[in-house]
Amino acid sequence: MSSEEQFEIVTEEGEVIGLAPRSQCHGDPSLLHQVAHVLVMDPNGRIALQLRAPHKDIQPDRWDTSVGGHVSPGETVALAAHREMFEELGIKAELTFLYRYIWRTEIESELVSTYRCLYQGDFAPDPKEVAEVRWWTPQQIEAELDGDLLTPNFCVEWRRYQALKS
């Protein structure tokens, strides 16, 4: 039996309809799977972004959403968000649900649930997952939205978050 990570395949409403290995989900955009994102903000309005590790199969070496990870089979999205936040950044904090959307590329399709948390303190990033974490101001993010430093998914996420605030 393969030890490859399995993802639940879901409908656009989040109903589980199957199971598939990671490699299949990251090669077949018809297989919609769930992920949890967390926007970690400080009281000054800055957002923590993570630099994706160079060995990642999707968007290596680019700045991305504070936290992002797959939902494990049988796990709730909220639990996955807390787990990923601790695994990637080494923090525990209260989360507030913001929105859900579908992100499609030529490689994969994700049902993304995004949360926000206010946090002030140090990070303990897992070097296997995250190359670096640093605080960005909204102005720094806006200046890079059309460049190559940020992942396309984060650029969409940022615009969605900004629209929510206005």
How far CA 4 is from CA of 14, 73, 110, 126, in Å, comes to 22, 13, 19, 20
* Longest Cα separation, the chain: 50
Any idea what DSSP says for residue 128? T
pTM: 0.94
pLDDT at 1: 47
Domain ranges of the chain: 6-165
pLDDT along the chain (166 residues), means of 10: 86 96 95 98 96 87 96 97 96 97 96 97 91 96 95 96 88
| Residue 47, token pair as written in the block | 């957002």
pLDDT at 2: 60
The CATH fold of domain 6-165 = Nucleoside Triphosphate Pyrophosphohydrolase (3.90.79)
